[in-house]
Amino acid sequence: MSSSIGANCTELKARYDSCFNKWYSEKFLKGSTETECEDLLKEYKACVMTIIKEKQIDKLLAEARKESPFPSSSSTSS
Amino acid sequence: LNIPNSSICFPRHPWQNVTYAFWLRYPNPFASHVIGADVLERSVDPVTGVLRTTRLLLKSGVLPKWAPKGIVKSPETFVIEESEVDPKTHTMITRTKNLSHARVMQVEETQIVKLSPENPEWTTVRTEARVISRFGWGLTQRIERFGAKRFADNTARVRICDCSFLMFSAWPNLRYF
């Protein structure tokens, strides 16, 4: 499993990733649209966001995400 | 100016496995330049059942010798990766572009992963990249050609792997900085 950009988020990332990988292969690919691992993702994301602010890439990121990459995309977030 | 490049690959693996491998592709010895990867957003569209993910990747890199000193502060690059997986149509689309050094060179790479029309147990992966430089001082064309060549070199390396499972390890090809 790869590291997080912030070294102190790697443990949270590992826990979330293993939950996601299991869900992706065992549920999502078999037709389920019910998400799981949401609490783990929330905790992990909060950690990553502090790193993004620290490294001052939040503005670059906001700029890049203004352009929606897929025409079908709505602005839903998890 | 914008130099389009594309390549196509036919891994002899089921689509499901190929898309699963996409999430597991780092770390690996063929992409040691990727230092970290984080999920920023992830959701399933309740109507279409499509999984959408935004990730942030951090890569290390090396500058070409002819690059002026100080052209970029640090050769580390942040890359944004947006993806959509539709399990009903067996289609995965991923788009990546660099956030850092975008004034010097912006590389946008798109990959479309579908079921092979020849064999439902195989997969088709089409890759397209655009290299754009807005940098002045007569370097723009050189930077763009450099970028396009790097893309071709990396794609060639991927082809040597014969479109096996290994090709995903070098994905995305963005090794530019």
Higher per-residue confidence, B171 vs B11:
B11
Closest by alpha carbon to B130, among B154, B102, B106, B150? B106
Nearest CA in chain A to B90: A29
H-run or E-run covering B101: none
d(CA B67, CA B72): 9
d(CA B88, CA B16): 11
Classify the phi-psi angles of B55: left when phi > 0, otherwise alpha if psi is within -120 to 50, otherwise beta: beta
d(CA A62, CA A75): 13
Q: Which of B16, B38, B40 to mutate to test the interface with A (most CBs of A within 10 A)?
A: B38
Mean pLDDT of B66-83: 74
Rounded to the nearest angstrom, the gap between the alpha carbon of residue A78 and the centroid of all alpha carbons in its chain is 9
**Is the ipTM reported for this complex over the cut 0.90?**
no
Q: Is B56 in contact with A61 (Cβ distance < 8 A)?
A: yes
Cα dist from B57 to A48, B71, B76, whole Å:
12, 21, 10
Nearest CA in chain A to B86: A29
- The pLDDT score that the predictor gives to residue B165 is 45
Tell me whether B35 touches chain A (CB under 8 Å).
Answer: yes
The band of B72, judged by pLDDT with boundaries at 50, 70 and 90, is low
Lowest mean pLDDT among A36-40, B55-59, B151-155, B168-172: B168-172
What letter would DSSP give residue B73?
A: S
Cα angle B94, B99, B102; round to 5: 115
Cα dist from A6 to B41, B57, B72, B117, whole Å:
17, 11, 22, 42
Tell me whether B54 touches chain A (CB under 8 Å).
Answer: yes
The whole-model pTM stands at 0.77
pLDDT tens-digit series, residues B121-161 = 988 888 877 776 665 555 566 666 666 666 555 554 444 33
